[in-house]
C-alpha cells in the first residue's frame, strides 16, 4: 500500500525530511510508519500525530492512500 508521510516545524528539521511517499506490503500502525521512515529511531514522547488531518494516537491503523503526519507541540495564536 502507498502512504504519504509529512513532518512539520522543528521535527522536520530534526528528521531531515518534509514529505515521504512510502510503499509497504504490510498494514501498519502510526508508530510502525514512524519506525519505517525514521530508521527505527524511538518515537519521541512529545510528538503529535495525525492520520488524514485528524489527530490520532500511535496505535491507530493506517490504510492505503492515507496521509500520516508527525509534528511537535503546537504554538499558534
Partner 1 sequence: MRVEVTSNEFSPWEQLQAYEKTLIARHGLGAVATFVGTMRDYNEGERVQAMFLEHYPGMTEKYLHSLSETALQRWDILDTLIIHRVGEMQPGDTIVLVAAWAGHRAPAFEACRFLIEELKFKAPFWKRETRNYGVRWVEKNTI
Q: Binding residue for partner 1 (CB under 8 A) from 2, 18, 55, 61?
A: 55
Please list, in sequence order, all residues whose beta carbon lies within 8 angstroms of the beta carbon of residue 57, skipping any fewer than 6 positions away: 30, 49
* Residue showing cell 492505503: 64
What is the grid cell recorded at 34? 514512524
* Residue showing cell 508521510: 5
Q: Does 4 engage in binding with partner 1 (CB under 8 A)?
A: no
Find the shortest distance in angstroms from Cβ 76 to partner 1.
3
Candidate segments 17-25, 29-37, 56-64, 65-73, binder of partner 1 by CB under 8 A: 65-73
Q: Does 57 engage in binding with partner 1 (CB under 8 A)?
A: no
Amino acid at each position: 500500500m502507498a502512504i504519504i508521510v509529512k513532518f512539520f516545524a522543528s521535527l522536520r528539521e530534526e528528521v531531515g525530511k518534509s514529505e515521504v511517499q512510502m510503499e509497504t506490503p504490510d498494514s501498519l500502525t502510526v508508530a510502525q510508519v514512524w519506525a519505517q521512515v525514521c530508521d527505527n529511531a524511538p518515537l519521541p514522547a512529545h510528538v503529535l500525530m495525525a492520520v488524514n488531518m485528524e489527530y490520532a494516537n500511535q496505535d491507530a491503523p493506517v490504510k492505503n492512500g492515507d496521509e500520516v503526519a508527525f509534528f511537535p507541540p503546537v504554538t499558534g495564536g
